[in-house]
Every structure is written in C-alpha cells, then in structure tokens.
Amino acid sequence: MPIRFAMRPTGGGGGGGAYYRFSKSGTVQLAAGEEVEIIPSTSSPVRREISIKGENPFSIRWDGSDRSLPVFEDATYFDSSDGGISLFATSATTQTVELWVRQETEIDYDLGQESGEIDDMPMPDLSVRPFGPLPNPYLHAPNAIYNAADDSDNIKYGQLATVASTLYQFDVFFPGQMYNFTIKGTSSYQLQPGEVIKVFLCPREIMAMALAQVAVYKWELYSDINMNHLVDWVKGHSEATTVESLEGGFSLVPTMSKQILFFDTFPDEETDRFLCNCSYTPNLANPKEGGEFTINDLTPPFGYW
C-alpha cells in the first residue's frame, strides 16, 4: 500500500494554504454587453477558491475596482485566495459561464443555475520538475561565486546532472487531490541490506534559509561535520515517510503550501552518507495522476564535492 502523507499548509493568514470543506458549482448566462454579478460576496472575510470558465472571451471585475481582467477563449480563471468579495463579468457575446467555488465555511449563497457538488472541477495535468534550471539543474554558477576550474565539482557527476536532480518541486497540481508515485532503481543502483528509502517534504522557506547559510558561511561549510549539521537541520524541519523497498510507492495530498521533495536511503537519521539523485517520469497514460521516480545514483559524499 502506498504511504499517504499530506503537504500541509504552513503558517497562518495569507501566507499559508487552506483546506476547503464545502463546494458548489453552477452556470451563469452572460448577455452581450451587460455586466452581471457571477459570484456573490460573503458576509465576512473567508478563505475561498474560485474557478471560472467560458467558451468565448470575457472580462471580470472585483467589486470596488474600476479595472477589469480579461479571461481568454476556452480558458479557466483560477483564484485560490479570493477572500469573499463579489465578482462581476462582462462579455461581448451571449454565452454561458461555468463557476466552481470551494470554501472553508458553508456556502450560503447561490451560484446562478446550480449544479450541486463539484464533480466536474477542471483538473490540471500534474507537473513535477527539478528544483533548479533546466535542462541542467546544476548549471555553472556565476564567476563571482565559482570560476571555470570548479565546473566539474559544481555539476557533480557530469552528464547525470542533465537528466537527474536531488530536489523536486510541484509546479501544477489540484489541491486536495491524492497523487500516487512509484519508486524504482536502475541496474547500477539497488538498495543495500538494511537500507530503506526516506521521502522528505521540505518547506521552501527552510530550503531558502539553508541556501542562505551556504552563501554566507561557504568556507565553514567545507567541513563535512558542519555540512552534515546543516543537512540534519533541513531534515529535522521536513515531513518524512518511509518506503521499504524499490518498486514501492508513496502518496501525496498537496495543499497550496510550497514544498520541496527529496529522497535518501538511510536506515537511520545520520547524514554522513548520500542523498538520492533521481529522475522523474510523468504518467503519460494519465497526466493527471502521479508518475515514477527512478533512483539513478547517489550524490557524492560531502568530502568529495
């Protein structure tokens, strides 16, 4: 059975994510040239997510604003932090606009001609990519940081870096949807006796703080011990689950928080060994589902960077 753990929202207020317990959908008829309120306001501020789709171009305007925003032909407008203010729409042609709303409190207002619970919410294709530039996530750093002589160390494992990465991020997903992923090895890498695969989710703020430490304390981090302590700190501020074997799997239920995914193969919490260098293959048969991570190799130990 895949192991399920959620990318939970971090923090509060506008900076974190939200769980939406109530949903409603409907359609609104737009008459050519007339402005129509398509989503009512709430009596008090509320976390609300809205999606709007029309077959022809139209424009939307938030209540209290004198500026409108275009929505293009057969496109979906999505807002995950609406807040509860009313929304108006204007179309140059007569058309029917589809509406979807998810909200953390009960929805006590109508959405045009309602269709009930959201079972036809637009589902985007899942997009997972390396946490770094493509095609090579280990592109050579500016000369102010490294010179050309350091290129082989900066790239790490040469050509492997062009197809694999240590860190991954989720670019496009549907909040609350469960995605199932599988993990496999290659002919050059298999789990050793006693090893397990650890799957980590690290908040982007934590990763940014770690990168800042590397930038500020570069010379101190040439020490393996100091680098191990930094990696320990990152892992200690991450969520983790365990996959017992290759060909196993895990599940994620993402929210709107930003997380970085990485793997290691430690039987315990020690960090004087390696992180996994992986490549990701999307599910081409169903791009709305999770794909497959392949562990190609291990990144070099800190003493060889």
pLDDT value at 161 more than 90: no
Look at residue 232 in the predicted model and tell me its pLDDT: 75
Q: In whole angstroms, what is the distance from residue 179 CA to residue 305 CA? A: 34
In sequence order, what are the residues at sequence separation of 6 or more whose Cβ sits closer than 8 angstroms to the Cβ of residue 250? 2, 3, 4, 5, 180, 181, 183, 199, 241, 243
Residue 215 pLDDT class (50, 70, 90 cuts): low
The domain made up of 19-116 is a member of CATH 1.10.287.3510 = no
Write phi, then psi, for 203 (nearest 5 degrees).
Answer: -60, 140
Q: Is the pTM of this model over 0.85?
A: no
Q: Where are the domains of the chain?
A: 19-116, 124-304
Tell me the per-residue pLDDT of 79-117, one tens digit each, with 9 for 90 and over: 877 788 899 999 998 898 988 888 888 888 888 765 544
- In terms of Cβ atoms closer than 10 Å to its own Cβ (0-12, 13-18, 19+), residue 37 is middle
Question: 31-78: per-residue pLDDT in tens?
Answer: 888 999 999 999 888 888 888 888 889 999 999 888 888 888 777 787
The overall longest dimension of the chain from CA atoms, in Å, is 70
Task: Give the integer Cα–Cα distance in Å for 36 and 54.
Answer: 14
Say yes or no to pLDDT of 134 above 60: no
Supply the pLDDT for residue 156.
41
